[in-house]
C-alpha cells in the first residue's frame, strides 16, 4: 500500500508513518483467509470491484467504495511520484559529479606554478589560484567570484603597486583594459616592491579571458646584471690600456676593440678576415713564431706571445698577445678571444736594464773576489766570474737556484744556515768559511753578506768572498813559529836551569877534589886517595866534555855545517865498539844488554863517528831510564827492500804518548824532576834523530809508560853496500890495474 485517504486515516489512525506498507501489516489478522500471497497475486490492472469484497470480508466492518476513476488517478500519481524520485536521484548524482569536477579543477589550478585567473565574458572574476592572489597582495581581498577586472587593477594602481602608472593612472588603466580585451604578446610589469611579473592572456571561446602570471624577477635581475656587465665591459674596453680581439672558427680575425687602432695606428678593417699568417710574420725567433702557430692550430691557450710591430709612424712597438680558445656546449671550436698589450716601454726598460746588468757584470767580473746576489727566497740572481772559477758554478745556469741545487747536501745545509741568519735580521754579517775548490782542496774565505733594500723594503742580499787561504796559512805558520819559539825558549830556559845543575855538579867535584890534592890534606900517605880523586876529576872532565860536544853537535846540525863523512862501515865491528862504551854503565845499573845482528856481510855507507854517536846516545839513554834488572836490546837487520834498520828496545820507565813529540825536540825535557833524578840534558834523542836525518834516514819512537821504549832508526836502501857489489868493485879495480 502506497497511499491512503483521510477517511481511512480517521478510522485506522495515522497510517502515513506506515506507508508504503503491506496490507497485512496495517490490518493485521482481520484479513482472515486472504493471505499475503493472494494479495500480491492481484494484478495492478484488475478491477477494484473484484478486490473490494475481499477487503470488506477481511475487515469485517469496513466497506470500501472507491470508484474506478479515483483508482485511475491514484495510479497516475504513483507513476509521477516514481519519476520524480528518479529525477531527484539523478539530479543529486549530477550535483555530486559537478562538485567533484569543481574540486578537481580547483586542485589543478592550485597546482600550477604560475598565477592563474579566469574572467567571464562580462570581465567578472570566475576563479583564480592562491599564487595569483599572493602575486597581488594589495588587491587580493577583491579577488572573489563576480568582481570586475577593472576594479581589481584600479585598486592596485591606486595603492601605487605599478610605478609606471604614477602620474598617469587613468591612461595606464585604459591601456591595461585595452590589452586585456584584445590580448597579444605577453607583457612585463614592474611592481613597487621590485618584483617583475609577465602577463600572458588569451580569450576563451565563450568570450571570457584566461590569464597566466609568471614571476620573472630573477630573470630581469640576470638581464640587468648582464647589461651592467656589458656596459662595464664596454667601459673597460674603451678606457683600458689593452685591447681586445677575437677570431672565428677559421682562425680569422673577427673583432678588434678601438684601443688597437689607437695604439698601433692600424685600422681594424685592415686585419679583419685575415689569418695570423696573413697579417705578416713578426720579427721574432723562428721557434717562438712556429710555437705560436702550433698553439693556434691545436686550439691551445697561449700567454704573452711577444713580438715587435712597426707603427704607422715607423716606430717599433712591442706587443704582447694572449688568447683563450672558445668552445660551444657541444665542445665545438668557435674561435679565440684574447687581449693585446703595448709593452714597448717595458721592453725598452728591460733593454736598459740588460745594458746596466752587462756593465755591472763587466765590473764584477774584474773584481778579485767572488760576488753573488740573491732574492728574498735565497735564490741566486747572479754570480761573477771569480765565483765560477773558485766553485765551478756556471753563471748562466745559476738564476733561480738555491744552494741545494748547486752544492752537496751537507755543504748546502751549512750555507743555508748563513742565509737564514741574514734573512731573519737583515743585518751585515761576516764570517770565515772553509769551502773546497773544484779539485777538492779546502780553501779559507772571508764571507760578508749585506742586505739589499728596495723602497725601504728588504729585496734580497748580496755577498762578497775573499780567498784568505795563503794569509791564513801564513798566520798559522807564524803562530806555529811563535809557538815553537816559545817552546824553544822554555826548553832552553829549562835546559839552562838543568845545565847549571849538570855543569855545576862535575865542576864542583873537579874544584873540590883539586883543592884537596892541592892542600895535601892526606899528606904523604894519601897517594892512593889522591889518585882516586884525580880519577874523579878526570871522569868529571869527560862528562863535561860530553855535554859540550852534544851542545856543539846540535848547534852544528842546526846550522847545516855538520855534513857526514861517509865510509863503508862494518856493522858488527861497530856494534862491538859501542858495547865497550855502554856495558860498563849497564853493568853498574844492573841492566842486561842484548844484541842481534841480521845483516849478513852487508856494509853501511855512512859517517862512522856519527852512527856510533847515534847508537851510544840511544843505548845510554835506554840504560839510564831502565830500572835494575831490566833489559836493553839492540837488533840490527838489513834487507834488499828497506836497507839497514837499527832497533833499540828497553824495559824502562817509558814515555807518555802526549810527551813523545816534546822528547824529540832539542832541550825538550819531559819532566824536570825526572830528568834530574836520572841526570840528562835532553839532547840525546833529538841529537840521534838529527844525525839519522842528515844521512837521509828516519827515527821513530814508540813508548808506553811503565812498559818501555822502542827506537827505530832506518837508513835508505842506497846506503847499503852488499858483498856482491864489493866483489864487483874489487874485480873492476883489478881489471883496471891490469
Q: How far apart are CA 657 and CA 667, in angstroms?
A: 18
Q: Of 115-119, 272-276, 357-361, 507-511, give the lowest mean pLDDT range.
A: 507-511
- The H or E element spanning position 598 is strand 592-598
Q: How far apart are CA 233 and CA 618, in angstroms?
A: 105
Determine contact, residues 628/590, Cβ cutoff 8 Å: yes
* Contacting residues for 424 by C-beta, under 8 A, at least 6 apart: none
Place of cell 756593465: 359
Length of the chain: 738
Share of the chain above pLDDT 90, in %: 36
Q: How far apart are CA 340 and CA 318, in angstroms?
A: 10
Which triple of cell numbers denotes residue 404?
741545494
The mean of the pLDDT values for the chain is: 81
Place of cell 779546502: 442
What is the pTM (predicted TM-score) of this model?
0.35
What DSSP state is assigned to residue 527? H
Q: Measure Cα distances from 605 to 351, 353, 716 in Å.
A: 79, 77, 10
Determine contact, residues 237/244, Cβ cutoff 8 Å: yes
Q: How far apart are CA 1 and CA 21, in angstroms?
A: 5
- The H or E element spanning position 623 is helix 608-624
Q: How far apart are CA 606 and CA 695, in angstroms?
A: 7
Q: Of 27-31, 449-453, 675-679, give the lowest mean pLDDT range.
A: 27-31
**For residue 44, what pLDDT band results from cuts at 50, 70 and 90?**
very low
> Is the predicted pLDDT of residue 61 greater than 50, yes or no?
no
What are the tens digits of pLDDT across the range 583-597? 888 998 999 999 999
> Is the predicted pLDDT of residue 19 greater than 60, yes or no?
no
20 compared with 520, residue with greater pLDDT: 520
What is the pLDDT averaged over residues 290-315?
A: 90
Determine contact, residues 281/268, Cβ cutoff 8 Å: no
What are the tens digits of pLDDT across the range 223-234? 888 888 777 766
- With b meaning 16 or more CB within 10 Å and e meaning fewer, what string describes 616-636? bbbbbbbbbbbeeebbbbbbb
Q: Which of helix, strand or coil describes residue 270?
A: helix
pLDDT for the residue numbered 311: 78
pLDDT for the residue numbered 80: 77
What is the pLDDT averaged over residues 693-702?
A: 93
What are the tens digits of pLDDT across the range 531-579? 777 777 776 676 677 667 767 776 666 666 567 889 999 999 999 988 9
Determine contact, residues 246/271, Cβ cutoff 8 Å: no
Q: How far apart are CA 390 and CA 433, in angstroms?
A: 14
Contacts 24+ apart (CB under 8 A), 388-391: 390/435, 390/437, 390/443, 390/465, 390/467, 391/435, 391/437, 391/438
Which triple of cell numbers denotes residue 438?
773544484
Q: Which of helix, strand or coil describes residue 250?
A: coil
What DSSP state is assigned to residue 28? G
**For residue 724, what pLDDT band results from cuts at 50, 70 and 90?**
low
Residues facing residue 214 across a β-bridge: 198
Within 10 Å of residue 482's Cβ, how many Cβ atoms? 10
Q: Which of helix, strand or coil describes residue 200?
A: strand
Within 10 Å of residue 386's Cβ, how many Cβ atoms? 19
278 compared with 684, residue with greater pLDDT: 278
Which triple of cell numbers denotes residue 11?
478510522
> Is the predicted pLDDT of residue 478 greater than 70, yes or no?
yes
Place of cell 572573489: 144
N-term to C-term CA, the chain: 197
pLDDT for the residue numbered 502: 59
> Is the predicted pLDDT of residue 495 greater than 80, yes or no?
no
**For residue 38, what pLDDT band results from cuts at 50, 70 and 90?**
very low
In order, the DSSP letters of 3-22 are ---HHHHHHH---GGG-S--
Helix axes 608-624, 571-588, angle to 10 degrees: 30
20 preceded by cis ω (within 30°)? Answer: yes
What is the pLDDT averaged over residues 598-610?
A: 89
pLDDT for the residue numbered 32: 44
Q: Spell out the alpha helix ranges (H) of 520-566.
A: 527-558
Q: Of 129-143, 167-181, 347-361, 441-455, give the lowest mean pLDDT range.
A: 347-361
Q: Which of helix, strand or coil describes residue 362?
A: helix
Return left, alpha or beta for 194; rule: phi > 0 is left, psi -120 to 50 is alpha, else beta: left
Q: How far apart are CA 148 and CA 146, in angstroms?
A: 6
- The H or E element spanning position 661 is helix 660-663
> Is the predicted pLDDT of residue 630 greater than 90, yes or no?
yes
Smallest CA-to-CA distance from 116 within 195, 182, 210, 197 is with: 210
> Is the predicted pLDDT of residue 324 greater than 60, yes or no?
yes
Share of the chain above pLDDT 70, in %: 78
Determine contact, residues 196/217, Cβ cutoff 8 Å: yes
> Is the predicted pLDDT of residue 161 greater than 80, yes or no?
yes
Backbone φ, ψ for residue 595 (5° rounding):
-130, 155
Q: Of 185-194, 227-236, 338-347, give the lowest mean pLDDT range.
A: 227-236
What are the tens digits of pLDDT across the range 90-133? 777 777 777 777 777 777 788 888 999 999 999 999 999 999 99
28 compared with 504, residue with greater pLDDT: 504
What DSSP state is assigned to residue 148? B
Smallest CA-to-CA distance from 667 within 496, 435, 482, 513 is with: 496
pLDDT for the residue numbered 29: 46
Q: Of 63-67, 563-567, 719-723, give the lowest mean pLDDT range.
A: 63-67
pLDDT for the residue numbered 397: 84
What is the pLDDT averaged over residues 192-200?
A: 92
Q: How far apart are CA 261 and CA 282, in angstroms?
A: 18
Give CA 297 to chain center in angstroms: 36
Residues facing residue 335 across a β-bridge: 326
pLDDT for the residue numbered 172: 93
pLDDT for the residue numbered 607: 92
> Is the predicted pLDDT of residue 54 greater than 60, yes or no?
no
Q: How far apart are CA 650 and CA 631, in angstroms?
A: 6
pLDDT for the residue numbered 664: 81
pLDDT for the residue numbered 252: 96
Most confident of 28-42, 236-250, 348-362, 658-672: 348-362
Burial of 317 (0-12, 13-18, 19+ CB in 10 A): middle
In order, the DSSP letters of 43-105 are -TTS-HHHHHHHHHHHHSS------HHHHHHHHHHHHHHHHHHHHHHHHHHHHHHHHHHHHHH
What DSSP state is assigned to residue 255? E
3-class secondary structure for 403-457?
A: HHHHCCHHHHHHHHHHHHHHHHHCCCEEEEEEEECCCCCEEEEEEEEEEEEECCE
3-class secondary structure for 38-49?
A: HHHHCCCCCCHH
Domains of the chain: 6-66 (no CATH), 112-222 (3.30.450.20), 240-342 (3.30.450.20), 349-467 (3.30.450.20), 563-724 (3.30.565.10)
Backbone φ, ψ for residue 404 (5° rounding):
-70, -20
Q: How far apart are CA 680 and CA 671, in angstroms?
A: 11
Amino acid at each position: 500500500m502506497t497511499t491512503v485517504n483521510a477517511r481511512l486515516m480517521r478510522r485506522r489512525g495515522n497510517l502515513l508513518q506506515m506507508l508504503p506498507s503491506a496490507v497485512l501489516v496495517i490490518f493485521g489478522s482481520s484479513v482472515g483467509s486472504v493471505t499475503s500471497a493472494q494479495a500480491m497475486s492481484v494484478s495492478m490492472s484488475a478491477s477494484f470491484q473484484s478486490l473490494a469484497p475481499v477487503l470488506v470480508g477481511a475487515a469485517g466492518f469496513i466497506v470500501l467504495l472507491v470508484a474506478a476513476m479515483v483508482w485511475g488517478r491514484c495510479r497516475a500519481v504513483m507513476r509521477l511520484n516514481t519519476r520524480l524520485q528518479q529525477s531527484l536521484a539523478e539530479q543529486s548524482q549530477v550535483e555530486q559529479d559537478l562538485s567533484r569536477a569543481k574540486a578537481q579543477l580547483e586542485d589543478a589550478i592550485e597546482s600550477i606554478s604560475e598565477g592563474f585567473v579566469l574572467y567571464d565574458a562580462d570581465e567578472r572574476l570566475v576563479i583564480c589560484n592562491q599564487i595569483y592572489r599572493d602575486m597581488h597582495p594589495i588587491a587580493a581581498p577583491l579577488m572573489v567570484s563576480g568582481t570586475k577586472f577593472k576594479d581589481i587593477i584600479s585598486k592596485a594602481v591606486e595603492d601605487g603597486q605599478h610605478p609606471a602608472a604614477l602620474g598617469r593612472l587613468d591612461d595606464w588603466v585604459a591601456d591595461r583594459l585595452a590589452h586585456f580585451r584584445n590580448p597579444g604578446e605577453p607583457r612585463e610589469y614592474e611592481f613597487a616592491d621590485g618584483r617583475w611579473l609577465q602577463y600572458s592572456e588569451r580569450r576563451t571561446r565563450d568570450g571570457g579571458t584566461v590569464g597566466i602570471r609568471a614571476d620573472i624577477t630573477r630573470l630581469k635581475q640576470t638581464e640587468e646584471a648582464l647589461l651592467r656587465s656589458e656596459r662595464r665591459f664596454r667601459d673597460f674596453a674603451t678606457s683600458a690600456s689593452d685591447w681586445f680581439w677575437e677570431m672565428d672558427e677559421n682562425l680569422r680575425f673577427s673583432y678588434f676593440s678601438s684601443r688597437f687602432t689607437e695604439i698601433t695606428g692600424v685600422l681594424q678593417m685592415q686585419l679583419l678576415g685575415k689569418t695570423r699568417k696573413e697579417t705578416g710574420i713578426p720579427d721574432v725567433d723562428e721557434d717562438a713564431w712556429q710555437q705560436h702557430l702550433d698553439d693556434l692550430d691545436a686550439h691551445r691557450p697561449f700567454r704573452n706571445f711577444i713580438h715587435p710591430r712597426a707603427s704607422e709612424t715607423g716606430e717599433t712597438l712591442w706587443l704582447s698577445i694572449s688568447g683563450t680558445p672558445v668552445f660551444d656546449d657541444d665542445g665545438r671550436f668557435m674561435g679565440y678571444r684574447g687581449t693585446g698589450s703595448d709593452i714597448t716601454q717595458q721592453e725598452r726598460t728591460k733593454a736598459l736594464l740588460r745594458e746596466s746588468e752587462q756593465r755591472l757584470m763587466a765590473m764584477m767580473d774584474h773584481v778579485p773576489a767572488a760576488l753573488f746576489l740573491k732574492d728574498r727566497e735565497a735564490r741566486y740572481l747572479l754570480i761573477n766570474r771569480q765565483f765560477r772559477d773558485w766553485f765551478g758554478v756556471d753563471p748562466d745556469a745559476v738564476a733561480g737556484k738555491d744552494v741545494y741545487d748547486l752544492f752537496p747536501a751537507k755543504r748546502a745545509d751549512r750555507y743555508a744556515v748563513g742565509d737564514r741568519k741574514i734573512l731573519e735580521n737583515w743585518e751585515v754579517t761576516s764570517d770565515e768559511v772553509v769551502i773546497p775548490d773544484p779539485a777538492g782542496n779546502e780553501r779559507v774565505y772571508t764571507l760578508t753578506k749585506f742586505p739589499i733594500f728596495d723602497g725601504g723594503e728588504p729585496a734580497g742580499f748580496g755577498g762578497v768572498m775573499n780567498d784568505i787561504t795563503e794569509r791564513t796559512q801564513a798566520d798559522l805558520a807564524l803562530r806555529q813559529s811563535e809557538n815553537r819559539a816559545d817552546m824553544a825558549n822554555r826548553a832552553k830556559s829549562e835546559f839552562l836551569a838543568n845545565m847549571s845543575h849538570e855543569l855545576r855538579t862535575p865542576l864542583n867535584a873537579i874544584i873540590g877534589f883539586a883543592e884537596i890534592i892541592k892542600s895535601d890534606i892526606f899528606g904523604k900517605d894519601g897517594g892512593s886517595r889522591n889518585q882516586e880523586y884525580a880519577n874523579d876529576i878526570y871522569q868529571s872532565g869527560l862528562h863535561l866534555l860530553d855535554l859540550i860536544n852534544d851542545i856543539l853537535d846540535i848547534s852544528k846540525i842546526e846550522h847545516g855545517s855538520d855534513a857526514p863523512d861517509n865510509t863503508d862501515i862494518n856493522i858488527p865491528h861497530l856494534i862491538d865498539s859501542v858495547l865497550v862504551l855502554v856495558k860498563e854503565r849497564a853493568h853498574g845499573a844492573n841492566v842486561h844488554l842484548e844484541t842481534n845482528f841480521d845483516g849478513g856481510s852487508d856494509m853501511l855507507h855512512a859517517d862512522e863517528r856519527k852512527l856510533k854517536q847515534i847508537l851510544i846516545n840511544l843505548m845510554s839513554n835506554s840504560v839510564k831510564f831502565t830500572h835494575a834488572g831490566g833489559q836493553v836490546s839492540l837488533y840490527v837487520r838489513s834487507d834488499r827492500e828497506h836497507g839497514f834498520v837499527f832497533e833499540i828496545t828497553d824495559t824502562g820507565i817509558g814515555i807518555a804518548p802526549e810527551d813523545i813529540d816534546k822528547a824529540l825536540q832539542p832541550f825538550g825535557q819531559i819532566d824536570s824532576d825526572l830528568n834530574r833524578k836520572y841526570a840528562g840534558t835532553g839532547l840525546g834523542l833529538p841529537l840521534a834523530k838529527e844525525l839519522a836525518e842528515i844521512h837521509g834516514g828516519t827515527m821513530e819512537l814508540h813508548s808506553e809508560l811503565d812498559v818501555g821504549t822502542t827506537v827505530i832508526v832506518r837508513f835508505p836502501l842506497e846506503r847499503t853496500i852488499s858483498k856482491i857489489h864489493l866483489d864487483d868493485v874489487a874485480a873492476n879495480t883489478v881489471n883496471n890495474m891490469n
